[in-house]
Amino acid sequence: MALTVTLQDYPHGHVDAIVQAIHRFRRELDRRLGDRLEDAVRAYQKVAASPTERVSPDMLRLASDWSAAYEAASAAGLEKLPELGAAYFEVRLS
């Protein structure tokens, strides 16, 4: 499976800045999660869609790891962009 990252709702369409932001975001995700990246995304999606009593403790831990990694990666990705507005990174598995 491939992981696709896009920057959404960024009010300035400077392509180079967007590419660099996505690169910083992805580098931080890889640093924090490594080989667990795709599994962490899946775990987060499953936890978000399921009642917590139907999710294993390991799945909850992996989803929590994703959440922390996403927040850190977002901060790294967005740190050099001016006037962020409501910009955020969207991550999809395909």
Residue-wise pLDDT tens digits, 16-59: 889 999 999 999 999 999 999 999 999 999 999 987 778 899 99
Mean pLDDT within 10-19: 84
Give residue 85's pLDDT band: very low, low, confident or very high (50, 70, 90): confident
**pTM (2 d.p.):** 0.90
Distances (CA, A) of 47 to 6, 8, 41, 68, 91: 22, 23, 10, 15, 16
| Cα(23)–Cα(18) distance, integer angstroms | 9
Phi-psi region of 9 (alpha: psi -120 to 50; beta: other; left: phi over 0): left
Query: What does the pLDDT read at residue 82?
Result: 79
